[in-house]
Structure 1
Amino acid sequence: MSREDAANTTGAGSAPAAKLTLLTLTSMVVGSMVGAGVFSLPRRFAEETGVAGALIAWVIAGTGMLMLALVFQTLAVRKPDLNAGVYAYAKAGFGEYLGFFSAFGYWASACVGNVTYWVLIMSTIGAVAPALGEGDTALAVVLSTVGLWSFFFLIRRGTKEAAAINRIVTVAKIVPILVFVVLALFVLKPDVFAQNFRGADYAGSLFHQVRGTMLATVFVFLGVEGASVYSRHAKRREDVGRATVLGFLSVFAVFASVTIVSYGILPMSEIAQLRQPSMAGVLEHAVGTWGKVFVSAGLIVSVLGAYLAWTLMAAEVLFVAAKDDDMPRFLRRSSAVDVPVPALVMTTVLTQAMLIITLFSEDAFNFALDLTSALSLIPFLLAAAYAVKILKPKDTAALPGTKRDLVISVLATVYTAFLLYAAGLKYVLVSFIIYAPATILFVMARREQGRRVFSPAELVIFAVSVTGAVLGVIALAAGWISV
């Protein structure tokens, strides 16, 4: 999506918002999903599974995320009055507090996801500048901080510079990936591919292998809901769902191809040892140094563009939530050039805090990737469950496609619930540590409106979140879990 469109979606309403076409919405979905994750897929999968497990994982992830994409399509058509996608659906279905958590969780997942971009950029440069390590050294964090705030001031200035960046990355993020797949197919070694089929000894059972890849697949598919986030600006409402499905199917084919062809280049144990971005290392082995340079250059441009897109999307969620009185009023403010500066500041500050935390992480990239996925699961689960809720009443039975949509919604709900299980207790507890303090913003919003802070049901939810956060802090302090 162009920065001009994004600016219009986040403005205070001084000018009419641009109406987005099917092509624009589809490109926004593709642009949101294609970022850092795809360049890390070979190593991430090789750490967990072989070809058989990867194929099963992609079938499960592809089916599950397609169900989720179809849920967003259904909700866009059946609930055209709800804007901002994930956040609005959770609020409509389960009340203001869970709606707030959904908005905050979605925003926080975008911020943590932005950390993976800086880690991956520094790791890429670290291949020729060892002081940057794998993006987790003090120097890497300092340089990432400079980049982080440079982007803040770029976006704050307005639309022209950011629009130019987006036009460049549209091509730069797709070409290296497609070239990688084609070249890998030409040099694929059948014997190596066969050896990798069942997985290495360290991979464990097939179920364990598949479970280990689930959070990685969630991360690369984040953005599938991108069109629904800006649904209120679609030229035609039905284009929101179409863009979601078209964007998903295109990206799914690319992501699965990148993973599977890599198994025909190197033994999975060697792929698992490559530094990130592992796609560069695989292509270097296949065609030489120029392949590594080519992918690395494309990655840096691509990741910077993805960072821009997700920063805008994160700010939009806070801005819309504030306009709906679910976030404090200061987050409604925008500048003369229609940039929601307070929301942008909060987005940048949380990203900065998570960057600092990577200094204490055993594996900065994978930690940020998995936490991003875990934080997004509650908003996704609530959206899918809301679709089930609205499709069950008798008054919808006469509407065409109701039974089909209900089956899809149930499957999407089951899939996202399974993902929470696959995430494991570690990331659930760390998510609570982030979620619970966010309630301060909810309390501020309620007090601004002169309303009671919690209803009895909301008080129970608050107690659960605080308990989870306390357990998470204790587990970290005692060394039961680590980041």
Structure 2
Amino acid sequence: MISASEQKFSLWALMAMCVGSMVGAGIFSLPQAFGRATGPFGAVVAWSIAGVGMLMLAFVFQSLSRRRPDLDAGIYAYAKAGFGDYLGFLSALGYWAAALLGNVSYFVLIKSTLGLFFPIFGDGNTVIAVATSSILLWVVHFLILRGIREAAAINTIVTFAKIIPILLFVVLVFFGFKTDVFTANFWGGGATLGDVAGQVRATMLVTVFVFVGIEGASVYSRYARNRSDVGIATLLGFFGVLCLLVLVTMLSYGVMRNEDLARLRNPSMAGVLEAVVGPWGAMFVSAGLIISVAGAYLSWVLLAAEILFSAAKYETMPRFLSHENKNGVPSNALWLTNILVQIFLILTLFAQHAFRLALELTSSMILIPYLLVAAYGFKLAWTGETYDRDPASHRGEFVRSGIALIYTVWLIYAAGTTHLLLSAAIYGPGSVLFIMARREQRRVVFSMVELVIFAAAAIAAAVAIYSLLTGRITV
């Protein structure tokens, strides 16, 4: 049996979980995504808003890790502590669903990238592509079953390995930067306030997607050698990734015109580097993407299993998900996660519609968990709870948590009704796991307030499913 002390993570391992979760497929598509939506000025505004908003959220994670060190797997536990069992469950379910569906997209993206050089993989949804993805899925599955610490050590190595190609991209594109091209791109589609506002809004979900994973260290807080390392790892990981995201975006504007960036096939970083150094640049970036996405997948499968396990441990998910094997791995949670990933992989053979739905849900499912974390941080600051021993930081944390709350509310508004309905299509039916857990404990399933929330989620889920079936919502 693995002892608790042997399972503990260092600051660097926690930071690698954070960076490894954030740096996945998103950064490789930034040149095309931003080139299609805006120019350098709009990009600066977008990254400033996203940077400040996500920084405030990172500060909330840091603050909560210090104020509530008794809570493990923060993104779930904070929602439960602040707003009750059912909203805590919805936070865990939303986070787990985002991780699960994101892992499906990672597999398809790897095979799609290989399809550039080996046509047998097509767009990542051929029989050969699904078969090889399935083999990789179960190889990683059994690797993780051998021990979380061993898998986390591999994740740390992979995290450093995938940062190197991105850094080299930044250096090479810096030397290929053309000031006249950058200047021509500067205003994007227009220079008026309305033009810039529309351009910025068009980039918001992109900026959220590339920051998903900022909570990686918080989710694994129970493994930290020192609880204070959780907040430090979150902030260090955030600032490092933000620098990379801004550099990749802004330098690309100095290589190609907006319309050319917009037409690039993803991974669009490959097209940018190819324009600077020739065909080998595309191959180099494609190899970097495969390493990056593989590393992100390892981070996310660990996070997905951990969030289910922690929710079950605190009696919000069914009891069977709290089982650990002899190596201290939440094995049942891992099995459930990967079985569903396998099912979605098989579905990509028959229905491209189902795969596009998975991509949309990956980005939309994370918004509610982030909102609840920001709201809990603001609630503590508003009531003054836990500040009796540290009154000096009260005002600053009140402001930061308030900004984080406003930012996450605005993100949900910017995402629109369609994304909320798509999220409800999982939140509603997924609530059966909460009902199972409550019946196991012989407890009243819902309080009156929770019943209203569940009814709203169930109605929204019914509307979403009907709209999907009738074509009123397309993804």
Task: Summarize the alignment of residues 324-339 of structure 1 with structure 2, pairs less than 5 Å apart.
Answer: 324-339=314-329
Instruction: Name 1:208's counterpart in structure 2.
Output: 198
Task: Summarize the alignment of residues 98-117 of structure 1 with structure 2, pairs less than 5 Å apart.
Answer: 98-117=87-106
Structure 1 position 163, deviation (Å): 5.8
| 296-305 or 103-112: bigger deviation | 296-305
**CA displacement, residues 433-475 of structure 1 (integer Å, 9 cap, x when unaligned):** 0111111110110011011111111110110101111111122
| 148-157 or 266-275: bigger deviation | 148-157
Task: Summarize the alignment of residues 300-449 of structure 1 with structure 2, pairs less than 5 Å apart.
Answer: 300-356=290-346, 358=348, 360-361=351-352, 368-393=358-383, 396=387, 399-449=391-441
Q: Mind listing any 5+ residue stretches in structure 1 that lack a counterpart?
A: 1-10
**CA displacement, residues 355-408 of structure 1 (integer Å, 9 cap, x when unaligned):** 45556446957x655422211110110011011111112564771110110110
How many angstroms apart in 2 are the aligned matches of 1:122 and 1:29?
25
Q: Does 1:90 align with 2:82?
A: no
| 421-430 or 256-265: bigger deviation | 421-430
Structure 1 position 296, deviation (Å): 1.2
Q: 1:165 and 1:27, CA in 2 relative to 1: closer, same or farther beyond 3 A?
A: closer
Structure 1 position 141, deviation (Å): 3.5
Q: 1:338 and 1:455, CA in 2 relative to 1: closer, same or farther beyond 3 A?
A: same
| Aligned partner of 1:465 among 454, 457, 471 | 457
Instruction: Name 1:455's counterpart in structure 2.
Output: 447
User: 2:16, 2:155 within 8 Å by CA — same for their partners in 1?
Assistant: no
Q: Which amino acid aligns with 1:405?
A: E
| Aligned partner of 2:163 among 174, 182, 185 | 174
How many angstroms apart in 2 are the aligned matches of 1:249 and 1:163?
21
DSSP 3-state at the match of 1:269: helix
Q: 1:42 and 1:375, CA in 2 relative to 1: closer, same or farther beyond 3 A?
A: same
User: 1:155, 1:339 within 8 Å by CA — same for their partners in 2?
Assistant: yes
How many angstroms apart in 2 are the aligned matches of 1:156 and 1:74?
32
How many angstroms apart in 1 are the aligned matches of 2:18 and 2:455?
36
TM-score (norm 1): 0.91
| Aligned partner of 1:194 among 170, 173, 183 | 183
How many angstroms apart in 2 are the aligned matches of 1:66 and 1:415?
11
| 312-321 or 121-130: bigger deviation | 121-130
Q: 1:400 and 1:19, CA in 2 relative to 1: closer, same or farther beyond 3 A?
A: farther
Q: Which amino acid aligns with 1:245?
A: L
**CA displacement, residues 191-216 of structure 1 (integer Å, 9 cap, x when unaligned):** 22122212248x99322221121111
CA RMSD between the two structures: 2.3
Q: Does 1:67 align with 2:56?
A: yes
Q: Which amino acid aligns with 1:379?
A: P
Instruction: Name 1:143's counterpart in structure 2.
Output: 132
How many angstroms apart in 2 are the aligned matches of 1:315 and 1:345?
8
Q: Mind listing any 5+ residue stretches in structure 2 that lack a counterpart?
A: none
Q: Which amino acid aligns with 2:258?
A: M
DSSP 3-state at the match of 1:337: coil
User: 1:436, 1:465 within 8 Å by CA — same for their partners in 2?
Assistant: yes
DSSP 3-state at the match of 2:365: helix
How many angstroms apart in 2 are the aligned matches of 1:333 and 1:474?
36
How many angstroms apart in 2 are the aligned matches of 1:238 and 1:156?
28
How many angstroms apart in 1 are the aligned matches of 2:400 and 2:391?
15
| Aligned partner of 2:37 among 34, 42, 48 | 48
Q: 1:138 and 1:273, CA in 2 relative to 1: closer, same or farther beyond 3 A?
A: farther
User: 1:120, 1:276 within 8 Å by CA — same for their partners in 2?
Assistant: no
Task: Summarize the alignment of residues 256-335 of structure 1 with structure 2, pairs less than 5 Å apart.
Answer: 256-335=246-325
Q: 1:106 and 1:460, CA in 2 relative to 1: closer, same or farther beyond 3 A?
A: same
Structure 1 position 153, deviation (Å): 2.8
Q: Which amino acid aligns with 2:162?
A: K
User: 2:347, 2:354 within 8 Å by CA — same for their partners in 1?
Assistant: no
How many angstroms apart in 1 are the aligned matches of 2:72 and 2:166?
33
Q: Which amino acid aligns with 1:166?
A: N
**CA displacement, residues 289-338 of structure 1 (integer Å, 9 cap, x when unaligned):** 11111111122122112111110111011111111111111111122222
Structure 1 position 418, deviation (Å): 0.9
TM-score (norm 2): 0.93
User: 1:90, 1:386 within 8 Å by CA — same for their partners in 2?
Assistant: yes
Q: 1:449 and 1:14, CA in 2 relative to 1: closer, same or farther beyond 3 A?
A: farther
**CA displacement, residues 45-102 of structure 1 (integer Å, 9 cap, x when unaligned):** 2222221211111000000000000001111111111111110000011000000000
User: 1:73, 1:242 within 8 Å by CA — same for their partners in 2?
Assistant: yes
User: 1:134, 1:276 within 8 Å by CA — same for their partners in 2?
Assistant: no
**CA displacement, residues 4-23 of structure 1 (integer Å, 9 cap, x when unaligned):** xxxxxxx9x86446333323
DSSP 3-state at the match of 2:57: helix
**CA displacement, residues 97-151 of structure 1 (integer Å, 9 cap, x when unaligned):** 0000001111111111212211221121111233433334555344333332332
How many angstroms apart in 1 are the aligned matches of 2:29 and 2:11?
29
Percent same amino acid among aligned pairs? 55
How many angstroms apart in 1 are the aligned matches of 2:120 and 2:259?
26
